[in-house]
Each structure stands twice: as structure tokens, then as C-alpha cells.
Amino acid sequence: MEKYVVVLAAGKGTRMKSKLYKVLHKVCGKTMVEHVVDAAQGVNPAEIVTIVGTGAGDVEKVLADKSKFAFQEKQLGTGDAVMTAREELGDKDGATLVVTGDTPLFTTDTFNELFKYHAKTFEELFEYHKSKGAVATVLTAHAENPFGYGRIIRDDQGNVLRIVEQKDGKPEELKVKEINTGVFCFDNKKLFEALKHVNNDNAQGEYYLTDVLEILRNSGERVGAYKMPDFSESLGVNDRIALAQATKTMQRRINEQHMRDGVSFIDPDTAYIDADVKIGNDTVIEGNVVIKGNTEIGSDCYITSGSRIVDSKIGNNITVTSSTVEEAEMDDNTDIGPNSHLRPKAIIRKGAHIGNFVEIKKAEIGENTKVGHLTYVGDATLGKDINIGCGTIFSNYDGVKKFHTNVGDHAFIGAGSTLIAPINVADHAFIAADTTVTKDVNKYDMAIGRGRQVNKPDYWHKLPLSQDKEWD
């Protein structure tokens, strides 16, 4: 049986109060619609068709290599939205899964084996649908507070009669706590045939996809329903409050998976990890840590509280102490912090040490080189076994252009030095403390660029304080 997926992503999401299209809001680093499509891909469908609306070009960009698209010109309801996929899918044999693009918590495991008691994947919905011989199957859940959800109305034998929307329900119908999750599985051809008979005679004046169930049942077809055990997966995001709830649920899910894979969390409730982050085993993550984007962290690392790592590659046995690392690389056996900052294109080679209050930008720090504290290194290449003294500045900008500095192996740069780019400091060269370097320094040479020290004899007795006995 061929499988198809229709993703409803045309809604503007006015309750989000945002210029951003609703389904493009992110949950743990990925847009909501990406989460949905990624889950749907797990059932190996022949085609995925995403329904988009006016101004949704960005949706197409996000899903460009994952989905085909159909355009809903006006927001006339879910039934009308699915109907826009008719040209692409209408004449095909098989089963079609319909899911909304604002339900990022559904997993492939919730729909893949739906014929089993504890359904966990998209595939389940297809299997359950197939095993029951139904032409339509709705995925349902029990909600203690069902307000706002469509209610599942069954007959005395438990068969699904129809789905009643909140605004159209009678008082006794609105007491029902079994709700529509917005996920359906249909016989593809019968779905599009039934959609021809859907009308908009309802409180919203819209064409409801849910009306298809009653149309099919009235024509003698079997309509099934599968009640999923975990209501939280079905959370639809319609405002910022629900977005935060979805993010919190996804955050817990991500962290728990990392823990199963051998990562330790000191306080998993406060550690935020994006969906695509990779972390090796025996790494320890403290609380109030943020790790985002396409970050990779190796094994045996320690990430302390207050650290933020974005789109970076972190090797093995690395310590990040309350520091920020963004679009940077740290090789094995390095450390940074506290309170330091690796900016984009910073590369820290094996064994190097980056200490307190250090900023590095577009610079490579060689093996076993030490940049202790209170230093800025920008647009530079540093060799191995270099010592950079406290308060050193790599002055790389003349107000118009950025220039590069090279420092050779085994060099020594004294505290308080300023290196005015472009310059080259050779291997085994020395720069005296508090020196401003404006010319190249040759191998084995020492550069001194500062005023000579002058000592004023008996200067103390020239000060008024010298007459104060308390200062004597």
C-alpha cells in the first residue's frame, strides 16, 4: 500500500501576534513544520504535500528538499486546504495521512504501529487504519480540559459518528473528553471524493475536513478511531503560551534521549539543547546551559552553568566554564573560561588553554598555547607553545580594514602588550611586557616598545600626605 502525507501549513496564526508565519516558529531549534515533516518522513511515504498560503514562500524554502507544495488561495477551512492537494494526489491508490503543521510534538513512533495497544508512530496509524478495514481513521486522545478541541462523538457500539467542533457542539456533546488530535488516515481516492460533498454550513463558515467522516459513514463506509495514550504529543501551537509549552516538552524529550545515550545532566530542567545537537557519552552538562544549532560535543567534556554554545564543534575532554562559544572549534583536551568568548571562526587547537575574560575572533590558537586572561585575539594565527600575557590586545582594525597577525611557535608575549596588525612575530621571539609592536619581530629577537623607566629619588616627601603622621 502506497502512503501519502498532507501537511496543513496555510494558517497565518494571528494569535501568535507575529510577523513570522505560524508554522515557522521554532521549537528547540527547528521550525514546527520541520518537526512534523521529519516525523512523517519516518513512515517512508511516496509523497509529502504541504499546503501553504499567501506569503508562505519561507515555508517552501524550509521544506524545499522534503516536500511538494499546494497553494490554498483563501483560508476557507481544513477541508478546502486538503482539497488543494487533489491535483497532486487525487487519482492515486493508497492511504493518506493528514496532519497539521503546528503540532511539533508528534513523533514517527506515534503513528507507525497504530494497530498495537501502545501506539507510538505515524506508521502505527497507517497499520491500524489498514487492519480495521476502515476508509477513514482519526487519531484521538483523552483531554481533561477539552475546550477548543473537536469532540469525538461515538454510537452505543463505540463507532465514530462524527466530530463536533467547539463552536458547533451541543452542551451534552461538549462534555465529551475524547478529542480530535487533527491527525487522520484516509483511503486516498475516497477522501477526495468525499471532500466534494463538504459544505460550510457551520458557525465558522468553513469547509471542515472533519465532516468527511460523517459523509463517509452515511455512505456505508467504516470509520475508525485510535485513542493515543499520550495527549501531550497532540499539543497544537496557536499562541506563545502553547509554543513555550511545546518547547518545554521537547526540551525534556531531547535531554532524556541524551541521558539514555550516556550524557549526564546536573539539572535537566534548566539545560536547553536544540534538536540537532550531538553530544558524546560521559559528557556532563550543568544547569542553565544553552546549546543550539548544529553543535557537536565529544565525550568526557564538562560544560558548566552559564555556558552558551552555538553552531560549534567541541572535541573530547574539553571544559567550557561559564563561557560563550559560537561558530567556533575546540580540539581535544582544551579548556576555556570562565567568562570568555569564542566568536565566529575561532579555532582552538589541541591542548590550548583559554583563561578568564578572553575574547577570540577569526583566529587560530595553536597546540598547547596559553591565552591566560583579559586578552583580545582577533584576525590572527598563533603557533604552538606560545604564552600570551595578561591584558594583551591584537589590534586588527584601522577604522577601515581588518589586518592579520602571525605569531610563531614558542614565542612569548608579555603582559599588557599591543600588537598592531599587520605584523609577523617569528618563532622563539619575545615581546616585553607593556610593549606596542608595530614592526615584525625576527626569530630569537626581543621587541621593546615603551617609555624608559625613570625613578624620582625621595619623591614621597614632596607629597602633602608625607606630613600626615597616620601615613608616616
Q: Which residues are catalytic?
A: 373
How far apart CA 428 and CA 13 sit, in angstroms, is: 63
Question: Helices (DSSP H) in 302-419: which residue ranges?
Answer: none
How far apart CA 23 and CA 334 sit, in angstroms, is: 40
CB distance 275 to 291 below 8 Å: no
Identify the helix (H) or strand (E) that includes residue 37. Answer: helix 32-41
How far apart CA 425 and CA 435 sit, in angstroms, is: 13
| Closest to 290 measured CA to CA, from 30, 28, 104 | 28
Q: Which residues make Cβ contacts (< 8 Å) with residue 381, sequence separation at least 6?
A: 363, 364, 366, 404, 405, 406, 407
How far apart CA 98 and CA 12 sit, in angstroms, is: 19
238 three-class SS: coil
Output the CA angle 415-327-321, nearest 5 degrees.
55
How far apart CA 236 and CA 148 sit, in angstroms, is: 11
CB atoms within 10 A of CB 453: 5
Phi, psi dihedral angles at 197 (to 5 degrees): -100, 5
According to DSSP, residue 152 is labeled E
How far apart CA 359 and CA 373 sit, in angstroms, is: 9
Beta bridge partners of 184: 98, 138
Amino acid at residue number 95: A
